[in-house]
Amino acid sequence: MKRFINDCKKYYKYAIYSGKAELKSDIAQSHLSWLWWILDPLLFMLVYTFVALVVFGRAEQYFSAFIFIGYTSYKFFEKTLKGSVRLVAANKSIVKKVYIPKHILLFRKMYVNGFTSAVSFLLVFCTMAIYRVPLTYHVIGFIPLVILLFLITFGFSTILMHFGVFVEDLSNLISVGLRLVFYMSGVFYSLEKRLDSELLRTVLLKCNPIAFIIDQMRNALLYGKGIHWKLYFIWVVISIVLAVVGLRLIYKNENGYVKVI
Amino acid sequence: MENAIEVRNLKIRYRSFKKLSIRKSLFKFNEQETFEAVRGISFAVPKGQIMGIVGKNGSGKSTLLRAIAGIFSPDEGEIDLHGHTVSLLALGVGFQKKLTGRENIMLAGMLLGFTEEEVKEKMPEIIKFADIGEFIDKPVQTYSSGMHSKLSFAITAILETEIMLIDEVLSVGDAKFKKKSYRKMKQLIANKDRTVVIVSHSSATLSKLCDTILWLHEGKIMMQGTTDEVLPEYEKFME
């Protein structure tokens, strides 16, 4: 724990500078540059509005904002987890030549993904304004939920980052797993309203952290409901335990990474 | 005399994981072999000294150098650099390929322990030494291997860490740059405040440059002393 804190203090400036440079390079390499940060969630929202309204004939209240919340939260989790699997190998030119605590690479990734997600969340607030969603004090719940999203993503990512060094086809498995999480998280539909089975609904909303975060965020921002704090703190504890396990694995085995990559 | 590097009972082990495939070997993570590359060695290098490390292939020289550079952390024992900055000259620094040379200079400098301001101050000198023209503002992925090496060497050479670790004699870039980099390396080594550790198989280079020699054999210290004492014994052993 002490080593983790010292490393964070020593390298946080590097993580921020490096993240900013990566964002700049992403902009430079694309024709529409930063517009993609807005276009991506916008186009996704249009596709799923079509699927929900035309194909299934069902939509939720404040549907655009409803989808933006689901998509932005899931996309941050998905991009970070997918990236973490190959993170050490992708940075082998650095890892082999200078010492860098490996979780700093993860922080950089989360900084980049966090920034694009922040742009996407601006769309949430814009659509909320367009819909004239009545604001309640529960809106503040957005902040602890974003913190939980970061914690749970970091926890899972540290573990995947470690095993991703050694297991060649882990990224394939993770892609399938994340696709499953996508459909089981209610990104473009309401788990609460669309699932008939009480058991399945409860299991998904309580045992799938992304479904829990998306559901609670929609409640806080759109529907004026408070956070389920008991479950919230259980997930905070689980996130911390995952992060501790992942960091211990990384610190214990990082000498071996240099040889494998 | 003040020590720049103190190594106490250092042990470095590799858990020699092999790349696995889920399909082939699910849940076989425990089948790992451990290889001890450095086996409990202790030594100190006084500030300003130039120490050479010799030993046959697989004796632990490069592992020791990388451990001093911080790339490998000790499994047992400790390495105390007394807060001095350190760089591994021969390897240079790693680059993020999507970023420009200028951005990579900043990032590499920060990883070597310099502040943003210190790197900014040295930036013009690094760019001048690297001599890669307008490519400095292009992504590193567009560089030739020569340009890559030039920039890498320029960063570690110009940022001048207090401890320099050199793995084998440098051979970087084209003929002109090779001469320039060799001259720069000699100039860096000549600085009396700088502590230098050189790994080389060339006894001629080591006897020319080093004050003392550490002879490693199968991860342990075989002999340590002045260049004149150790090198003849080492050469006799290798014959």
What is the C-alpha to C-alpha distance for residues A73 and A75, in angstroms, rounded to an integer? 6
Q: pLDDT digits over A230-252, tens only?
A: 999 999 999 999 999 999 999 88
CA distances from B11 to A117, B60, B101, B164, B214 (A): 44, 11, 37, 22, 16
- Helix segments in chain B, DSSP class H: 22-25, 61-69, 101-111, 116-130, 145-159, 175-190, 203-209, 227-238
Q: Can you give the pLDDT at residue B171?
A: 60
Q: pLDDT digits over B144-163, tens only?
A: 888 888 888 888 888 878 88
Q: Domain coordinates of chain A in residue numbers? A: 2-260
Do A94 and B12 lie within an 8 Å CB cutoff? Answer: no
CATH architecture assignment, domain B3-84+197-238: 3-Layer(aba) Sandwich (3.40)
Which residues are CB-neighbours of A71 under 8 A, at least 6 positions away? Answer: A41, A44, A45, A48, A120, A187, A188
Q: pLDDT digits over A108-159, tens only?
A: 999 999 999 999 999 899 999 998 989 899 999 999 999 999 999 999 999 9
Give the distance from residue A14's alpha carbon to the nearest chain B alpha carbon, in angstroms.
Answer: 6
Tell me the range of A109-118, B84-93, B95-104 where mean pLDDT is highest.
A109-118
Q: pLDDT digits over A189-228, tens only?
A: 888 888 778 888 888 888 999 999 999 999 999 999 999 9
Note whether ipTM > 0.85 here.
no
Q: pLDDT digits over A167-192, tens only?
A: 888 899 999 999 999 999 988 888 88
Do A94 and B19 lie within an 8 Å CB cutoff? Answer: no
Query: Residues A62-97, buried b or exposed e (16+ Cβ, 10 A)?
Result: bbbbbbbbbbbbbbbbbbbbbbbbbbbebbebbbeb
Tell me the range of A230-239, B103-112, B121-130 where mean pLDDT is highest.
A230-239
Choice among A41-55, A219-233, B121-135 with the minimum mean pLDDT: A41-55
Task: Give residue A49's pLDDT band: very low, low, confident or very high (50, 70, 90).
Answer: confident
At B63, is the secondary structure helix, strand, or coil? helix
Do B91 and A17 lie within an 8 Å CB cutoff? Answer: no
- The answer to whether residue A30 scores a pLDDT higher than 80 is no
Q: Can you give the pLDDT at residue B25?
A: 57
Q: pLDDT digits over B152-204, tens only?
A: 888 888 887 888 888 765 566 677 777 777 787 778 888 888 898 988 888 88
- The answer to whether residue A15 scores a pLDDT higher than 60 is yes
Q: Domain coordinates of chain B in residue numbers? A: 3-84+197-238
Which chain A positions have a beta carbon within 8 Å of B66's beta carbon? 258
Q: Can you give the pLDDT at residue B173?
A: 66
- The answer to whether residue A13 scores a pLDDT higher than 70 is yes
What is the C-alpha to C-alpha distance for residues B157 and B187, in angstroms, rounded to an integer? 10
- Between CA A208 and CA A218, with CA A214 as vertex, the angle to 5 degrees is 145
Helix (H) or strand (E) holding A246: helix A229-260
What is the C-alpha to C-alpha distance for residues A3 and A21, in angstroms, rounded to an integer? 27
Residues of chain B whose C-beta is under 8 A from some C-beta in A? 12-23, 29, 66, 69-73, 75, 87-88, 91-100, 103, 106-108, 110-112, 116, 139
What is the C-alpha to C-alpha distance for residues A260 and B15, in angstroms, rounded to an integer? 10
- The answer to whether residue B26 scores a pLDDT higher than 60 is no
Per-residue tokens: B95: 């680059």
Amino acid in the structure at residue A106: L
Please state whether beta strands B195-199 and B50-54 pair in parallel, antiparallel, or not at all (unpaired).
parallel
Task: Give residue B88's pLDDT band: very low, low, confident or very high (50, 70, 90).
Answer: confident
- The answer to whether residue B27 scores a pLDDT higher than 70 is no
Do A255 and B12 lie within an 8 Å CB cutoff? Answer: yes
